[in-house]
Structure 1
Amino acid sequence: MPPYTIVYFPAQGRCEATRMLLADQDQSWKEEVVTKETWMQGSLKASCLYGQLPKFQDGDLTLYQSNAILRHLGRSLGLYGKNQQEAAMVDVVNDGVEDLRCKYGTLIYTNYEAGKQDYVKELPGRLKPFETLLSQNQGGQAFIVGNQISFADYNLLDLLLNHQVLAPGCLDSFPLLSAYVARLSARPKLKAFLASPEHVNRPINGNGKQ
């Protein structure tokens, strides 16, 4: 019986970073896919702490909020930096990812047609902080913080991969980020996951826009 269970819609959404982390760390998990019909019935929604998914089970521990799930796995699997200073920087990165993810989600779900052009135009300014962070850590040749992977790397990688679909070429002017995406995506277990039918056939977003 896998120790972890992901309860989520049939989309990558806010769960793919968690799946990437688990796959790369050689962890097994179970998926409970929630259809729109099931969700609209209301009983599952009513049972969720904030009335939203994902829901994550680690044994008898039930978690909500995608970033709380990532931080829990970061602590339990040693993916939260080597010391308090690194852990603080991992939080800085992850909060920056969340800021951009919220802007991306607003575009995808509320303003895609009218807002995409302006969003793409403003994207370089929103990606630049991550290039800066990479440049300040071992010349951008390692991870986003320190010399070992953290949960923030999976979250950032997922968001960058999404943006490469939204705006192909968006990393062309960011050589460190481009190399970072290629380097992380080539990690054997992560590469296998990213090539798997489960990942490839799962829509990026619940409304089909990407």
Structure 2
Amino acid sequence: MPPYTIAYFPSRGRCEVMRMLLADQGQSWKEEVVTLEAWGQGTLKVSCIFGQLPKFQDGDLTLYQSNAILRHLGLSFGLYGKDQREAALVDMVNDGVEDLIRHLGQQLLCNYEEGKAQYLKELPGHLKPFETLLAQNNGGQSFIVGDQSSFADYRLLDLLLNHEVLIPCLKDFRLLSAYMARLSSRPKLKAFLASPEHVNCPISALLKI
């Protein structure tokens, strides 16, 4: 049995970045799919520490909160920068992605079409910091932090891939576009991104997109 188990809704959502990371690191995991109907019954929700999914199990360690899970995986696989300085930058990038994901969710959940139009107007300003960070690191030819991958790379890649589905937006961001293509071509990650488990999985269970 694989040591990892992901319990989540039938969507990419907060868990696809974990799946991408594990796949790229050559790991397997078990999925426990929680339907919205089952979640609505309340029994599982009560059993979750913060009343939220995902629930992630690494052997006898059970974790909630997606960013805590990512930091755990980052430490487990050496994906948290090579020193304290890089670790701080990895956290900074991850927090920046978190801000944008929350903003996207707020815009689209209120009124999808109207929210999408407003979000698209604001998006260049939201993406510019990531393009700037790339440019400052080896001219944008490397990772988002340092010279080795970190969990922040998977987080940013997941964000960019979802945007390409929802709101294609990278034509004016040369470095981000090349970065997305470069990371997506890593053999194990490429295989996962081409798999039915990824392709046929909606980005959001609530929005069904």
Give the TM-score of the pair, scaled to structure 1.
0.97
Q: Aligned partners of 1:209, 1:31: CA distance in 2, in Å?
A: 19
Find the counterpart in structure 2 of residue 175 from structure 1.
174
Q: Report the Cα offset of residue 107 of structure 1.
A: 2.3
Following superposition of structure 1 onto structure 2, how do residues 103-114 of structure 1 map, counting pairs within 5 Å?
A: 103-114=103-114
Residue 193 of structure 1: aligned partner:
192
Aligned residue number for residue 26 of structure 2: 26
Over the aligned positions, Cα root-mean-square deviation in angstroms equals 0.9
Letter in 2 for 1:111: N
Query: What is the alpha-carbon distance in structure 1 between the residues aligned to residue 90 and residue 167 of structure 2?
Result: 26
- Map of 2:123 onto structure 1: 123
**How many residues are matched?**
209
Task: Please give the residue correspondences for 1:125-164 in structure 2 after superposition, counting only pairs within 5 Å.
Answer: 125-164=125-164
- TM normalised by structure 2 equals 0.98
Could you tell me which runs of 5 or more consecutive residues in structure 1 were left unpaired when the two chains were aligned.
Answer: none
Q: What's the secondary structure of 1:31's corresponding residue? A: strand
The aligned runs of 1:74-113 (5 Å cut-off) are: 74-113=74-113
CA deviations 1:29-80 (Å, max 9, x no partner) are: 0000001121111110001111110000011111011111000000011000
1:108–1:209 contact (8 Å) kept in structure 2: no
Show CA shifts across 1:118-140 (max 9, x none): 10010000000000000000100
Pair 1:12-2:12 in alignment = yes
| Structure 2 residue ranges without an equivalent (≥5) | none
* Aligned partner letter, 1:191: K
Q: Aligned letter for 2:191? A: A
- For 1:202, the equivalent position in structure 2 comes to 201
Runs of 4+ in 1 over 6 A off after TM superposition: none
Q: What is the identity, as a one-letter code, of the residue corresponding to 1:72?
A: H
- In the alignment, what sits opposite 2:67? 67
| Paired residues of 2:5 and 2:30 also in contact (CA < 8 A) | yes
In structure 1, the residue corresponding to 2:201 is in which secondary structure?
A: coil
Amino acid at match of 1:40: G
Cα offset for 1:167? Answer: 1.4
Paired amino acid for 2:189: L
Deviation per residue, 1:128-183 (Å, 9 max, x gap)? 00000000001000100001100000000001111111112x11111000000000
Q: How much has 1:209 moved relative to structure 2?
A: 4.7
SS of 1:74's equivalent? helix
Distance (Å, rounded) in 1 between the aligned partners of 2:172 and 2:157: 17
Q: CA deviation at 1:23?
A: 0.2
